[in-house]
């Protein structure tokens, strides 16, 4: 009973600590809140008005999705953020398996990042879902285990809960001045690492086994997802650590964290680029499979959806640029230049893992007709709302962790 109360107190502590801050912090939260409220309002009462309000107007017709492109921007955010979430495990591995003290400091940040990334993914699916209320009752029944969505549902929620538990546990131990116990960390690592890989693999599996979408029907999809995920997740965390370092003068992270993370980013990015090359070769060298070829020609050379081509080339350009900059020795000497490389990586992978991943399967429809997709304004604003809401949560979690770290210090 005592332990339970301890944890309830910790959760209250996290939120209480998280919202405390100076004027700047409060202004930041206010700015995010405005965008969040408007986005959530648009989603609940405009886009999903027929569901939540029973109105005749509204509905998914307001978004850009149509019969040929059933999954649009929301699902693309799902594929992107699930990758970011998966990469949290890299930091846990570095910290606990290799017992790196400096990494241990940022592990809770990675865990919080995983939690919020998974909230975006789930929200992305729900925003694209026709009937979210019905889904909450029907999905937990697991009626069709052949459906990848059921598995995805399972792994995403499990991994989210695991990360949340780890984060709360770490903060709890720190708050009470106790070291993080190996008895907790080792089983946690063993359980959560397959899930970390699993969330992203299963997400790729959702797409990759469909004969209807030959551009996605490649076994390389899951490895490609993982490779780019392990580039974008650490890149984002690096940027966030840098921001934390700049805003909180007392918080200092060793330069080795930057350097080691950069290496991870570069290796993953190179692998991801290599996988893209392999796919391009598969299609453009000999293949005569008509639909796959048509879809990839529309992806690389331009077709009915010009945005897709732009995003694909953005990924290739930014990815190559990041790798080239990353292997230049002068770039590896300063935090700032490493953060710039991380930013370039993040933008490149963001371009690839969002719409450029799913749209190739839809750009030519299964019977050879060109599809059309234009992101509707409501999609932009709902996405901004979702992201703002989740960033508020991340700001709260990160701030409470960092202030705890500064107050009590880290005992690993």
Partner 1 sequence: MAGGNGSGVVDEGRRRALKIMALAGMLASVDLAVFDKEEFKKMLRKVGLDEILGGDDVELAGAGESDMEKRAKKKTEEMKKICFEAAQKICDEKGLNHADCLAAIHKCRKIHVKATPPKKGAKYAMALDLDKCIGCRRCEYACVMENNTMRNAGMEWIHVIEYDREGLQDLEGGTADYRVAPKKGKVYVPIACMHCENPPCVYVCPVRATWKEPDGIVVIDYDKCIGCKYCVVACPYGARRFNLMKPSINPLELNPNMHILGNLIRPVHVTEKCTWCIQRTRDGGVPACVEACPVGARTFGDLNEPDSPIRKLLERYDFFVLKPEAGTKPKFFYYFGGAKPERAEGGE
Partner 2 sequence: MLSKPLAIVGLAMLIIILAVSPTARAGTADQKELYPCIQCHAAIKPPATTNTSTFHNITLKDGHSGLYCVNCHNPDTAMMELRGGVPLRVPGFHNHTQLYDTNKLCAQCHSDIYELYQYGAHGNTTFTCPGGETHIIIGYKGVKYVEHDCPPGTKYQMKPHEPCIVCHDPHNPKFKTLSILPPPSDRPEPPPEGEIVAGGVSTLVAGIALIALAVFVQKRGGA
Q: Interface with partner 2 by CB under 8 A: which residues?
A: 22-28, 30-32, 34-35, 38, 42, 46, 57-58, 61-62, 247, 249, 376-378, 380-381, 384, 388
384 binds, among partner 2, partner 1, none (CB under 5 to 8 A by kind): partner 2
Choice between 21 and 366, CB closer to partner 1: 366
Minimum distance of partner 1 from residue 130's CB (angstroms): 2
Choice between 201 and 365, CB closer to partner 2: 365
Q: Following DSSP, what letter does each residue of 313-381 receive, concatenated?
A: HHHHHHHHHHHHHHTSGGGGSSHHHHHHHHHHHHHHHHHHHTHHHHGGGTSB-TTSPBP-----HHHHH
Minimum distance of partner 2 from residue 21's CB (angstroms): 10
Residues that bind partner 1 (CB under 8 A): 50-51, 55-61, 65-68, 70-71, 97-100, 125, 128-132, 134-135, 138-139, 141, 143-150, 153, 186, 189-190, 206-207, 210-213, 290-291, 294, 361-362, 365-369
Choice between 36 and 206, CB closer to partner 2: 36
Q: How many CA atoms lie within 13 A of 139 on its CB side?
A: 18
DSSP tag of 178: -
Q: φ and ψ at 374, to 5 degrees?
A: -130, 130
Choice between 90 and 402, CB closer to partner 1: 90
Choice between 57 and 178, CB closer to partner 2: 57
Minimum distance of partner 1 from residue 203's CB (angstroms): 13
Choice between 32 and 323, CB closer to partner 2: 32
CB atoms within 10 A of CB 373: 22
* Residue 6: both structure tokens together: 């301890």
15 binds, among partner 1, partner 2, none (CB under 5 to 8 A by kind): none
60 binds, among partner 1, partner 2, none (CB under 5 to 8 A by kind): partner 1
Q: Following DSSP, what letter does each residue of 126-158 receive, concatenated?
A: HHH-S-HHHHHHHGGG---TT-HHHHHHHHHHH
Q: φ and ψ at 370, to 5 degrees?
A: -70, 140
Minimum distance of partner 2 from residue 271's CB (angstroms): 35
Minimum distance of partner 1 from residue 285's CB (angstroms): 19
CB atoms within 10 A of CB 381: 18
β-bridge partners, 364: 370
DSSP tag of 95: I
């Amino acid at each position: 009973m005592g332990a339970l109360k301890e944890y309830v107190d910790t959760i209250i502590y996290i939120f209480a600590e998280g919202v405390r801050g100076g004027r700047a912090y409060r202004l930041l939260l206010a700015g995010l809140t405005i965008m969040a409220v408007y986005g959530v309002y648009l989603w609940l009462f405009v886009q999903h008005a027929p569901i939540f309000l029973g109105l005749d107007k509204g509905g998914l017709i307001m978004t850009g999705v149509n019969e040929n492109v059933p999954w649009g921007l929301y699902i693309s955010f799902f594929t992107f953020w699930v990758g970011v979430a998966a990469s949290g495990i890299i930091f846990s591995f570095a910290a606990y398996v290799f017992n790196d003290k400096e990494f241990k400091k940022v592990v809770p940040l990675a865990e919080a990042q995983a939690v919020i990334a998974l909230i975006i993914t789930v929200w992305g699916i729900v925003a694209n879902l026709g009937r979210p209320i019905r889904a909450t009752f029907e999905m937990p029944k697991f009626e069709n285990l052949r459906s990848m969505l059921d598995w995805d549902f399972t792994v995403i929620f499990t991994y989210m809960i695991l990360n949340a538990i780890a984060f709360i546990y770490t903060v709890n131990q720190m708050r009470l001045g106790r070291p993080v116990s190996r008895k907790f960390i080792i089983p946690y690592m063993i359980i959560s690492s397959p899930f970390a890989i699993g969330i992203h693999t299963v997400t790729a599996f959702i797409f990759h086994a469909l004969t209807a979408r030959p551009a996605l029907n490649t076994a390389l999809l899951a490895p490609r997802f993982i490779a780019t995920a392990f580039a974008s997740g650490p890149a984002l965390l690096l940027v966030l650590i840098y921001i934390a370092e700049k805003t909180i003068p007392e918080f200092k992270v060793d330069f080795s964290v930057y350097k080691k993370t950069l290496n991870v980013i570069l290796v993953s990015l190179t692998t991801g680029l290599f996988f893209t090359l392999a796919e391009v070769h598969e299609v453009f060298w000999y293949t005569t499979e008509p639909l796959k070829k048509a879809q990839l020609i529309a992806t690389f050379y331009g077709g009915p959806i010009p945005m897709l081509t732009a995003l694909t080339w953005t990924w290739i350009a930014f990815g190559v640029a990041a790798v080239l900059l990353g292997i230049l020795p002068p770039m590896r000497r300063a935090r700032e230049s490493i953060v710039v490389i991380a930013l370039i990586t993040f933008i490149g992978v963001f371009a690839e893992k969002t719409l450029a991943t799913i749209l190739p399967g839809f750009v030519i429809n299964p019977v050879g007709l060109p599809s059309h997709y234009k992101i509707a304004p409501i999609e932009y604003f709902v996405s901004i709302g979702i992201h703002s809401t989740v960033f508020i949560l991340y700001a709260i979690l990160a701030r409470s962790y960092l202030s705890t770290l500064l107050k009590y210090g880290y005992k690993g």
